Structure 1
């Protein structure tokens, strides 16, 4: 089976209605795996797979469980390769929150990403809290998880600012990846401004 076929089977599995309410769908799982690929500490596979599903899914067989978990692990490796390459990573959704952000795939992707950050929140902010916070801001805004906080609700009301921030997400992912995994190659985005 090709990787594309495996991904479409994974997508069908994650987007099915019979998973736990808190399980991540395919787009959110992609955001989650992206955060795990960036995180400077490797989270054990069992831990992140169990957290992704919230509770164990009802697999039809052991073979299906192995296939789904194996594809998730491959997808995470694929995302890590994209992050390490010179190209901006590709998101599985439009960089657009649309007219109803709560229904947009991008919101789901950003929520999934933040779920991945929350698994090891201390590690993310351990060494470069200001830089990491600045780079995460567009994803935090996109997730809608922080809208209760005044600074986030102000941004959410400014459509142009929101769109501008969201368009930066792919390059910010690369910047975060380099910050954690190749600090000596700090991207221009983070060089001190004079």
Structure 2
């Protein structure tokens, strides 16, 4: 079975209504795996798989159980390669919160990403708190999880500003990956400009 077919099957599994309501759907799971791939500390597989589902799903068979988990692990590795490749990172959804942000796939992706950050929050911020916070900002804005905070409420109420931030997510991901995995090579974002 090709990787694309595996992903299609994983998507059908994660997007099914039977899963626990706190389980991540496919797009949110992609965001979550992206955060895990960026994190400077490897989270043990069992831990992040269990957290993704909130509770053990009802698998049709042991074979399905093995396949779903293996595909999640393969997708995480695929995302990590994409991040390391320096090419523009592609999200599995449009970079658009639409007119109904709470229903948009991008919001789901950003929430999933933040869930991945929360698994090891202190590790993310321990070495370069300011830079990491700056790069996480577009994702935090996209997630809507912080809209209670005044600075986020201000951004959320300004559609243009919000859109400007959201389109920076792919760049921010690459910069975060470099910052946390190759701290000696500062991403271009932070280099002094030499003429």
Q: Same fold (TM over 0.5)?
A: yes
Distance apart, 1:12 and its partner CA: 0.1
Task: Please name the residue that 2:15 is paired with.
Answer: 15
In 2, Cα distance between equivalents of 1:76 and 1:59: 21
1: CA distance, partners of 2:172 / 2:115: 17
Q: How far apart are 1:112 and its partner, in Å?
A: 0.1
| 1:1-194 equivalence runs, <5 A | 1-191=1-191
Structure 1: how far apart are the matches of 2:145 and 2:190?
A: 25
Q: CA deviation at 1:184?
A: 1.6
Q: CA deviation at 1:45?
A: 0.2
Gaps of 5+ in 1: none
Matches of 1:26 and 1:134, distance apart in 2: 27
In 2, Cα distance between equivalents of 1:7 and 1:184: 35
Shift of 1:189: 0.9
Deviations 1:84-134 (A, max 9, x none): 002011100000000010000000000000000000000000010000000
CA deviation vs aligned residue, 1:46-84 (integer Å, no higher than 9, x gap): 000000000000001110000000000000000000000
TM-score by length of 2: 0.98
| Aligned residue-pair number | 194
| In 2: Cα distance, 1:149 partner to 1:179 partner | 26
What SS does structure 1 have at the residue aligned with 2:30?
helix
Gaps of 5+ in 2: none
C-alpha RMSD of the superposition: 1.1
Q: TM-score, normalised by structure 1?
A: 0.98
